[in-house]
Amino acid sequence: MSLDNAPPEIKLAVDLIQLLEENQVEDEVVLKALEIVKTDYQKKLANRTKINQS
């Protein structure tokens, strides 16, 4: 299956999964790290939205 026409978020997800699997990162560590990343990016998005509305 080709990712050429996949949306960018799918391509990124596949790349991240591959990186994590190649480095044999434990599932629990991955999930905790992803929560931290998600929270960080949600804050960045909220700040950007707030700035753009000003």
Is pTM beyond 0.95 here? no
The whole-number pLDDT of residue 2 equals 85
pLDDT at position 41: 97
pLDDT (0 to 100) of residue 54: 81
Splitting the chain (54 residues) into consecutive groups of 10 residues, what average pLDDT does each group show?
92 98 98 98 95 88
CB of 3 within 8 A of CB of 14? yes
For 8, 13, 16, 33, the CA distances from 2, given in Å and listed in that order, are 13, 14, 17, 28
| H-assigned helices in the chain | 8-22, 27-53
Task: Report domain extents, the chain.
Answer: 25-54
